[in-house]
Amino acid sequence: MELTAVDVQDWLAEDLGAGDLTSEAVVPEGLTATAAILLKERGVVCGLELARAVFVELDPDVTFEALVADGVQTEGEIARLDGSARALLGGERLALNLLGRLSGIATLACRYVEAVGGTGATILDTRKTTPSLRRIEKYAVRCGGGTNHRLGLDDGVLIKDNHLRLAGSVRTAVERARSTGAAVEVEADTLEQVREALDSGADMILLDNMSPSELSEAVALTGGRAKLEASGGITLDNVRAVAETGVDFISIGALTHSARAIDVSMEVL
């Protein structure tokens, strides 16, 4: 996971503004404290290094001891801090926001991965991420056992419905996309479009909003000539049935756009 000091500084500037009025008024300068960070429900931990970076940016002398590693499923105390009481309080909300958000994504990803265990299907994320937080949200998906799809538009060819409307046909779109040198994926809403994509030599086909029976037909029709990705309307309740159709990948936007934050707190000891 890439992180720069500028990221942390920008995040802190948003929360601190001109300074932490409450802590500066109530907490004596120079006072030190010890605090624990607690995961208040079972989940997959993610974001500990980010949390450390927040506190160290406020005071390099703060010590941050991670008691578990990112990717571990647990609850209870996950980190302990020592140092300037003002720095601990100043960084508390940002650190907890990051931990709660990323742990929520990792936990949801883990649940989907567990739900399709043994089927051979791979759980993918999408580009439905929070602007400026894509790198760390996709890192959280990996911590939960999921796999990243495209990191950006420059990271692969995916010909969707609007591309097809503008290109005029699946074949034309695929032939033009071949000039990129990248593998070509085509979105298909119908089995007829699956046939067109196969006839055009697509490397991968995104089966959009198809029922399990339609997905099974697409798998049989494809016969291994292209990789298949199911997408649209996927939930924890139906993901197993989707995986059992034989598709290779299942992409789920909800991993990043709808994951519930895990409840995390910091308590001064």
Catalytically annotated residue among 20, 57, 92, 208:
208
Write out the chain in H/E/C secondary structure.
CCCCHHHHHHHHHHHHCCCCHHHHHHCCCCCEEEEEEEEEEEEECCCHHHHHHHHHHHCCCCEEEECCCCCCEEEEEEEEEEEEHHHHHHHHHHHHHHHHHHHHHHHHHHHHHHHCCCCCCEEECCCCCCCCCHHHHHHHHHHCCCECCCCCHHHCEEECHHHHHHHCCHHHHHHHHHHHCCCEEEEECCHHHHHHHHHCCCCEEEEECCCHHHHHHHHHHHCCCCEEEEECCCCCCCHHHHHCCCCCEEECCHHHHCCCCCCEEEEEC
| pLDDT for res 7 | 86
Catalytically annotated residue among 75, 80, 82, 93:
93
Catalytically annotated residue among 49, 59, 82, 128:
128
Q: Is 227 a catalytic residue?
A: no
pTM above 0.75, yes or no: yes
Q: Is 40 a catalytic residue?
A: no
| pLDDT for res 2 | 56
Q: Is 208 a catalytic residue?
A: yes
Q: Is 192 a catalytic residue?
A: no
| pLDDT for res 81 | 97
Catalytically annotated residue among 185, 187, 196, 248:
187
| pLDDT for res 89 | 97
Q: Is 75 a catalytic residue?
A: no
**pLDDT tens track, the chain, 269 positions:** 555 556 889 999 999 999 999 999 999 999 999 999 999 999 999 999 999 999 999 999 999 999 999 999 999 999 999 999 999 999 999 999 999 999 999 999 999 999 999 999 999 999 999 998 999 999 999 999 999 998 899 988 999 999 999 999 999 999 999 999 999 999 999 999 999 999 999 999 999 999 999 999 999 999 999 999 999 999 999 999 999 999 999 999 999 999 999 999 999 99
What is the CATH superfamily name and number for domain 117-257? Aldolase class I (3.20.20.70)
Return the domain boundaries, the chain.
5-113+260-268, 117-257
Catalytically annotated residue among 10, 41, 61, 160:
160
5-113+260-268: CATH topology: Aldehyde Oxidoreductase; domain 3 (3.90.1170)
